Amino acid sequence: MTLVRPQVARMSGYVPGEQPQEAGWTKLNTNENPYPASPAVAEAIARAAQRLAIYPDPLGRKFSQAAAEVLGVEPDCILPANGSDEVLTILMRTFVDAGETIAFPYPSYILYETLAEIQGANSIRLPLRPDWSWDVDAVRRHTEGCKIVFVPNPNSPSGNLWDDETLLRLLPKDGILVIDEAYRDFADRPRSFDLLRSEAGGRIVFTRTFSKSYSLAGLRLGFAVARPDLISEMRKVKDSYNCDTLSLAAGEAAIRDQEWMRANVDKIRVTRKRLDDTLRACGFETVTSQANFVWCRHPSGNHQQIYEGLKSRKVLVRLMKFPGAFAGCDQGHFTGLRITVGTDAETDRFLEELEATLALMT
């Protein structure tokens, strides 16, 4: 006899990136922003700390108003949450019953599959080509009956960005298209939310996070953007007070300081280009990234050795393995390294230690 639900007992669970607690690491493995949040955030938290004896606004209305003003939508189109991962959980609770099906591109963010397992739902991995493009006609045959199609855009781990025309072709016949935009602020093309006003807009949900471009990964705040009728249904299943007072105050201050966020994003984009160019000069194959990381593969295929060599020098990157991703993968796995774009100093140290690691492999 087991006390655990069968779905949970069968799961291996999602494994997040390593978070070493001791000092001295150059940490380029979980896509945090290396620059500090807006000074307005600390000021807002200090003011909000005077109100900790009472519950936060369960609807996060002041934050939603600020986000709506910045994004050009109505406040009722915003649902704040405890990180964008909670938005994904709320979406599963709202739209997907046990036994129903979700789909997502593969390789991409594997948490979608984990959430489906928890819900007792089925999941379909929609295969990407080796150049990270879709065979849309082939993929659509698998998405017709899905309740949700999740698409991270830009994608992780690759960092590539798909256009709206392509995304709309993935909209399931009787389901929701979720466009997960954790990294969108780093892209060359800014996002507008005109899709919500399109004919298909009633079945599209965008997700955003403060963990990346706003430098607030330690705070836990994200939000959904959708038409008000979808948002009102999603509110029914969220925790009563899913966002705390400090997070809501910090998020409102951060999103109002677009100038600060954009300055940090611009620095990351410049360093991203230098990192990509140098990796290519070292023989790596890379994908032109629209996020705050670079995906790369070495012709030797010794990604485990490179990862371990860097880790022994206290430089942490993300080693990622995707079983059966593409035809012809070594040992049935598609592997590579995802490297977060750090400060220029962090990037210099990474490149120095990478050179030393590669030298030992020759």
Of 7 and 248, more confident: 248
Count of C-beta atoms within a 10 Å radius of residue 71: 18
Per-residue CA distances from 218 to 5, 199, 214, 250 (Å):
31, 38, 11, 11
pLDDT for 22: 85
3-class DSSP string for the chain:
CCCCCHHHHHCCCCCCCCCCCCCCCEEECCCCCCCCCCHHHHHHHHHHHHHCCCCCCCCCHHHHHHHHHHHCCCHHHEEEECCHHHHHHHHHHHHCCCCCEEEEEECCCCHHHHHHHHHCCEEEEEECCCCCCCCHHHHHHHHCCCCEEEEECCCCCCCCCCCHHHHHCCCCCCCEEEEECCCHHHCCCCCCCHHHHCCCHHHEEEEEECCCCCCCCCCCCEEEECCHHHHHHHHCCCCCCCCCHHHHHHHHHHHHCHHHHHHHHHHHHHHHHHHHHHHHHCCCEECCCCCCEEEEECCCCCHHHHHHHHHHCCEEEEEEEEECCCCCCHHHEEEEEEEECCCHHHHHHHHHHHHHHHHHHC
Q: Is the pLDDT of residue 2 over 80?
A: no
pLDDT digits (tens, 9 = 90+) for 5-41: 888 888 777 777 788 888 889 999 999 999 999 999 9
Q: How confident is the model at residue 361 (pLDDT cuts 50, 70, 90)?
A: confident
pLDDT for 12: 79
Q: How confident is the model at residue 3 (pLDDT cuts 50, 70, 90)?
A: confident
pLDDT digits (tens, 9 = 90+) for 90-138: 999 999 999 999 999 999 999 999 999 999 999 999 999 989 999 988 8
Please state, in angstroms and rounded to a whole number, the distance separating the CA atoms of residues 10 and 12: 7
pLDDT digits (tens, 9 = 90+) for 174-223: 999 999 999 999 999 878 898 999 999 999 999 999 999 999 999 999 99
Residue pair 140/169 in contact by the 8 Å Cβ criterion: yes
Per the prediction, the chain carries an average pLDDT of 94
Q: Is the pLDDT of residue 88 over 60?
A: yes
Q: How confident is the model at residue 314 (pLDDT cuts 50, 70, 90)?
A: very high
Q: Which two tokens stand for residue 6?
A: 């069968």
